[in-house]
């Protein structure tokens, strides 16, 4: 049954539309570029070194010596590739990694080759034929792809973070379905807003049939005890919540992981979750990096590392407020989005910032809605405070020059107040 | 209100009912008062042409809203040429879509070709056919409205 459509656009046509949009961006020189040297704080594009505001390596672990050394050690011990399906034989590093991740997450954890593949392994196993699925329209594309695999289950789209609509839909679905799975992101990757965790907790209390599947890829590592993310901070002990984590991004390595409510479910997904059987395993060098990263997460210093990033996030928010730089949301996260009035404006703005020495990402449909183009930038421990101050100043100068309407429309864009206290 | 005034009112209403703010949706009840029950909608895109009636147009629009393709929509008329004869009218209406009424630039530009029918003392849209300009290439309105091709005795 899959997604419940009111009108169907063919995949071919949908691909053609996306291809046209990407080709236009590529022609403008803002997409599909190839980097030269990468130093964390700096990334080379063409013949210039740019301040890097495009990476999701929020904790700068991608350049940490501990991870780089672990890559070398793991390569020497296990080779560049361990090319046997995990269903037969897994590299020894998997066991150490999962053991550490269980301490980080505080619950049984299963490593997958990527977060996308974790979704594709888990959802067809945990969602049964008698169930129904509700998915937030802005949930990550990988979640939409994974729910497309649920052939016999109705999948309903809901407007972004609209708890009232979700509640209404659960009410209508509950008499006909044994379980209802709500699929959301913990931290939305484009506009940088958190899921409404407290309201979701209310829904879990109200509806015993409700289960949550949360992709917390962008909050893994930099948020919560040992970097378990926002979703596990709120729902770590809840039996009806499954959380997907990323071992890329802040974690600085490769792969994804499922934090599961019990060991039995872990075994079931391990045994029959498609990509757990048929996809290549994570390569030993990156398993080594992931193990090293997990040790850093479990170390006493990790909270201080997280606090350093939060300091930079707060510095960015304060600088933006002082400069009156409009942002799509003001949640306390490392993802920032400057709304623009058109795709051309977003592209021009990104180009201008590139020319002034800042690497940022112009964003347009299909990454964001057609009517919400803009410039996305991320804050990481690679960025020095002076870099952030310079970027905010340069971005605001562009807005003043072009006379953007965005401040007027900001209220309608903002998905809520600052991050809940529990996350601060 | 005379027919000319009524036509202007209907055209304003077309743009009003299809526009909606953040989190909203088109004014479906309003559309029923502006569009004839037998109205046809034809959308031309580089990937293909779509044909709708009121019901399927609503289904298409709702699917786009559900999928988050749009979260708000604002379209305004930028120029118009009108021909009226008896109970029929044809309007070539250039438009631009914007993120909001205050937006400094447009998201897209195009032309609506609108056929209207005078029925029960009001103009109702019988056909709405539109094509959008490619990004960075908005329609040249002077050229568009000057380029009428005529033939016959009075040409």
Asked if the C-beta of B106 comes within 8 angstroms of chain A's C-beta atoms, the answer is: yes
Taking the CB of residue B82, how many other CB atoms lie within 10 A of it? Answer: 15
Of A248, A270, A298, the position where a domain reaches its end is A298
Whether residue A156 is found in the same domain as residue A145: yes
Asked if the C-beta of B153 comes within 8 angstroms of chain A's C-beta atoms, the answer is: no
Query: Nearest 5°: CA angle at A164, between A163 and A169?
Result: 95
Residue A405's pLDDT band, with cuts at 50, 70 and 90, is: low
Whether residue A192 is found in the same domain as residue A228: yes
Q: How many CA atoms lie within 13 A of A194 on its CB side?
A: 28
Residue A293's pLDDT band, with cuts at 50, 70 and 90, is: very high
Residue A99 lies in a domain: yes
Q: pTM (2 decimals)?
A: 0.93
Average pLDDT over residues A80-85: 95
Phi, psi of A151 (to 5 degrees): -65, -35
Whether residue A149 is found in the same domain as residue A55: no
Partners of A242 in the β-ladder: A213
Residues A18, A326: Cα–Cα separation, whole Å: 28
DSSP single-letter state for residue A9: -
Phi, psi of A210 (to 5 degrees): -80, 135
Flag if B46 and A20 touch (Cβ within 8 Å). Answer: yes
Identity of the residue in A137, A403, A412 whose CB atom sits nearest the CB atom of B21: A412
How close A236 gets to chain B, by Cα (Å)? 30
Residue A199 lies in a domain: yes
Residue A35 lies in a domain: yes
Strands A132-136, A180-185: parallel, antiparallel or unpaired by DSSP?
parallel
Whether residue A222 is found in the same domain as residue A133: yes
pLDDT of A412 above 50:
no
Q: Search chain B and give the residue with CA nearest A374.
A: B99
Q: Search chain A and give the residue with CA nearest B64.
A: A7
Which pLDDT score, from 0 to 100, does residue A4 have? Answer: 78
pLDDT of A372 above 80:
yes
Residues A12, A17: Cα–Cα separation, whole Å: 9
How close A324 gets to chain B, by Cα (Å)? 17
Which pLDDT score, from 0 to 100, does residue A322 have? Answer: 95
Residue A2's pLDDT band, with cuts at 50, 70 and 90, is: low
Whether residue A347 is found in the same domain as residue A327: yes
Chain B partners of A371 at a C-beta cutoff of 8 Å? 70-73, 99, 107
Whether residue A335 is found in the same domain as residue A392: yes
Whether residue A123 is found in the same domain as residue A268: yes
Flag if A369 and B102 touch (Cβ within 8 Å). Answer: no
Chain A partners of B22 at a C-beta cutoff of 8 Å? 409, 412-413
Which pLDDT score, from 0 to 100, does residue A419 have? Answer: 39
Q: Do you find a cis peptide bond into A7, omega within 30 degrees of 0?
A: no
Residue A408's pLDDT band, with cuts at 50, 70 and 90, is: very low
Closest Cα partner for B119 from B11, B8, B14, B33?
A: B33
pLDDT of A282 above 60:
yes
Mutate to test the interface with B, among A5, A6, A159 (most CBs of B within 10 A): A6
Mutate to test the interface with B, among A342, A346, A364, A365 (most CBs of B within 10 A): A342
Average pLDDT over residues A184-194: 98
Residues A134, A150: Cα–Cα separation, whole Å: 12
Of A247, A278, A298, the position where a domain reaches its end is A298
Q: Which residues contact B17 (CB under 8 A, 6 or more apart)?
A: B26, B27, B30, B31, B34
Q: Search chain A and give the residue with CA nearest B46.
A: A17
Residue A405 lies in a domain: yes
Asked if the C-beta of B55 comes within 8 angstroms of chain A's C-beta atoms, the answer is: no
Residues A185, A195: Cα–Cα separation, whole Å: 6
Partners of A184 in the β-ladder: A214
Whether residue A246 is found in the same domain as residue A313: no
Give me the number of domains chain A comprises: 2
- For residue B46, with 0-12 CB atoms within 10 Å meaning exposed, 13-18 middle and 19 or more buried, which class applies? exposed
Whether residue A42 is found in the same domain as residue A111: no
Whether residue A125 is found in the same domain as residue A232: yes
Q: Search chain A and give the residue with CA nearest B22.
A: A412
Structure token digits, residue A402: 């072009």
Residue A68 lies in a domain: no
Residues A1, A152 contacting (CB under 8 angstroms): yes
The CATH number of whichever domain residue A348 belongs to comes to 3.90.1150.10
Closest Cα partner for A58 from A196, A161, A192?
A: A192
Domain that holds residue A33: 11-62+301-423
Asked if the C-beta of B96 comes within 8 angstroms of chain A's C-beta atoms, the answer is: no
pLDDT of B21 above 90:
yes
Residue A30's pLDDT band, with cuts at 50, 70 and 90, is: confident
Q: Search chain B and give the residue with CA nearest A25.
A: B135
pLDDT of A417 above 50:
no
Average pLDDT over residues A18-31: 86
Chain A partners of B136 at a C-beta cutoff of 8 Å? 344
Which pLDDT score, from 0 to 100, does residue B137 have? Answer: 74
Residue A182's pLDDT band, with cuts at 50, 70 and 90, is: very high
Residue A4 lies in a domain: no
What crossing angle do the helices spanning A284-298 and A92-105 adopt, rounded to 10°? 30
Instruction: Report the complex ipTM.
Output: 0.90
Whether residue A287 is found in the same domain as residue A410: no
Asked if the C-beta of B47 comes within 8 angstroms of chain A's C-beta atoms, the answer is: yes
- For residue B5, with 0-12 CB atoms within 10 Å meaning exposed, 13-18 middle and 19 or more buried, which class applies? exposed
Phi, psi of B91 (to 5 degrees): -125, 130
The full set of domain ranges for chain B reads: 3-146
DSSP characters for A76-138?
A: HHH-S---S-TTT---HHHHHHHHHHHHHHTS-EEEESSHHHHHHHHHHHHS-TT-EEEEETT
Edge-first strand order for the sheet with A35-38 is: A35-38, A42-45, A48-52, A358-359
Rg of chain B taking only CA atoms, in angstroms: 16
Structure token digits, residue A40: 């964390």
Residues A313, A192 contacting (CB under 8 angstroms): no
Least confident of A73-87, A200-214, A288-302, B138-152: B138-152
Residue A151 lies in a domain: yes
Residues A31, A361: Cα–Cα separation, whole Å: 8
- Domain with residues B3-146, CATH architecture: Roll (3.10)
The CATH number of whichever domain residue A165 belongs to comes to 3.40.640.10
What are the tens digits of pLDDT across the range A136-174? 999 999 999 999 999 889 999 999 999 999 999 999 999
Flag if B73 and A371 touch (Cβ within 8 Å). Answer: yes
Residue A423's pLDDT band, with cuts at 50, 70 and 90, is: very low
Whether residue A125 is found in the same domain as residue A229: yes
Which run of H or E residues covers position A167? helix A163-173
């Amino acid at each position: 049954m899959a997604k419940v459509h009111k009108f169907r656009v063919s995949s071919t046509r949908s691909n053609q539309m996306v291809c046209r949009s990407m080709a236009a961006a590529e022609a403008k020189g803002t997409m599909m570029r190839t980097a030269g040297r990468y130093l964390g704080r700096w990334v080379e594009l063409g013949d210039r070194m740019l301040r890097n505001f495009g990476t999701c390596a929020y904790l700068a672990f991608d350049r940490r010596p501990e991870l780089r050394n672990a890559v070398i050690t793991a390569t020497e011990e296990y080779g560049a590739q361990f090319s046997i399906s995990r269903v037969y034989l897994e590299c020894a590093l998997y066991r150490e990694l999962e053991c550490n991740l269980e301490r980080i997450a505080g619950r049984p954890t299963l490593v997958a080759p990527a977060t996308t593949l974790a979704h594709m392994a888990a959802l067809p196993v945990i969602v049964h034929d008698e169930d129904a699925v509700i998915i937030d329209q802005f949930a990550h594309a990988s979640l939409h792809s994974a729910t497309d695999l649920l052939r016999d289950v109705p999948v309903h789209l809901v407007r972004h973070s609209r708890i009232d609509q979700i509640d209404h839909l659960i009410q209508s679905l509950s008499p006909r379905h044994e379980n209802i799975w709500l699929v959301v992101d913990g931290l939305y990757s484009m506009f940088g807003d958190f899921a409404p965790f407290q309201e979701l907790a209310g829904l879990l209390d109200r509806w015993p049939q409700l289960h949550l599947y949360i992709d917390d890829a962008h909050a893994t590592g930099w948020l919560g005890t040992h970097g378990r993310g926002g979703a596990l901070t709120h729902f770590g002990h809840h039996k009806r919540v499954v959380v997907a984590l990323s071992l890329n991004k802040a974690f600085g390595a490769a792969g994804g992981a499922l934090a599961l409510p019990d060991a039995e479910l872990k075994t079931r997904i391990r045994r029959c979750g498609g990509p757990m059987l048929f996809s290549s395993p994570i390569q030993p060098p990156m398993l080594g990096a992931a193990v090293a990263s997990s040790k850093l997460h479990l170390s006493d210093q990790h909270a201080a590392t997280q606090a350093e990033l939060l300091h930079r996030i707060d510095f960015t928010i304060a600088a933006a407020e002082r400069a009156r730089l409009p942002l799509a949301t003001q949640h306390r996260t490392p993802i920032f989005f400057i709304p623009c009035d058109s795709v051309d404006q977003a592209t021009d703005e990104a180009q201008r910032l590139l020319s002034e020495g800042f690497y940022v990402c112009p964003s347009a449909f299909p990454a964001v809605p057609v009517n919400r183009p803009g410039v996305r930038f991320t804050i990481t421990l690679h960025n020095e405070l002076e870099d952030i101050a310079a970027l905010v100043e340069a971005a605001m100068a562009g807005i003043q020059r072009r006379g953007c309407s965005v401040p007027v429309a900001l209220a309608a864009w903002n998905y809520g107040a600052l991050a809940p206290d529990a996350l601060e | 209100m005379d027919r000319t005034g009524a036509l202007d009112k209907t055209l304003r209403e077309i743009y009003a009912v299809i526009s909606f703010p953040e989190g909203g949706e088109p004014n479906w009840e309003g559309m029923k008062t502006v569009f004839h029950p037998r109205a046809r909608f034809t959308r031309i895109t580089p990937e293909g042409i779509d044909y709708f009636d009121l019901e399927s147009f609503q289904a298409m629009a709702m699917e786009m809203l559900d999928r988050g393709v749009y979260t708000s929509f604002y379209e305004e008329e930028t120029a118009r040429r009108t021909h009226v004869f008896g109970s029929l009218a044809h309007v070539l209406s250039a438009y631009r879509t914007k993120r909001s009424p205050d937006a400094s630039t447009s998201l897209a530009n195009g032309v609506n070709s609108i056929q209207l029918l005078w029925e029960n003392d009001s103009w109702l849209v019988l056909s709405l056919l539109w094509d959008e300009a490619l990004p960075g290439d908005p329609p040249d309105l002077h050229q568009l409205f000057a380029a009428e091709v005529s033939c016959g005795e009075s040409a």
